């Protein structure tokens, strides 16, 4: 299985990509992912301001940090947004 990731791959899609990579179930192709690896809840305070509290963090099955780090592809290649997936694959895939 080949999975295309880029700088817009974030949150749950990063966790999935990281899990597939950690378990040798897929080859990740593209660019480093966004690096959004936390879950936050926002509460409104009595003065109208808000408070954001981190309540969880994402990590891969091998306990690799995702937040502000991202997931690195196995095969690096840039893919313009107007290209289709097949056109982004390096030769040999």
- Helix (H/G/I), strand (E/B), else coil: 76: strand
**How far apart (Å, rounded) are the C-alpha atoms in residues 61 and 72?**
15
Q: Residue 64 is encoded by which pair of tokens?
A: 């690799």
**How far apart (Å, rounded) are the C-alpha atoms in residues 67 and 74?**
19
Q: Are 34 and 71 in contact (CB under 8 A)?
A: no
Q: Are 30 and 79 in contact (CB under 8 A)?
A: yes
Residue positions annotated with a catalytic role: 11, 36
């Amino acid at each position: 299985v080949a999975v295309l990731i880029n700088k817009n791959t974030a949150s749950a899609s990063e966790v999935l990509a990281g899990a597939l990579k950690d378990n040798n179930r897929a080859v990740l192709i593209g660019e480093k992912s966004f690096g959004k690896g936390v879950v936050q809840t926002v509460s409104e305070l009595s003065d109208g301001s808000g408070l954001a509290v981190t309540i969880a963090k994402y990590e891969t099955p091998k306990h690799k940090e995702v937040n502000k780090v991202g997931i690195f592809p196995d095969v690096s290649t840039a893919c313009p947004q107007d290209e289709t997936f097949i056109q982004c694959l390096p030769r040999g895939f």
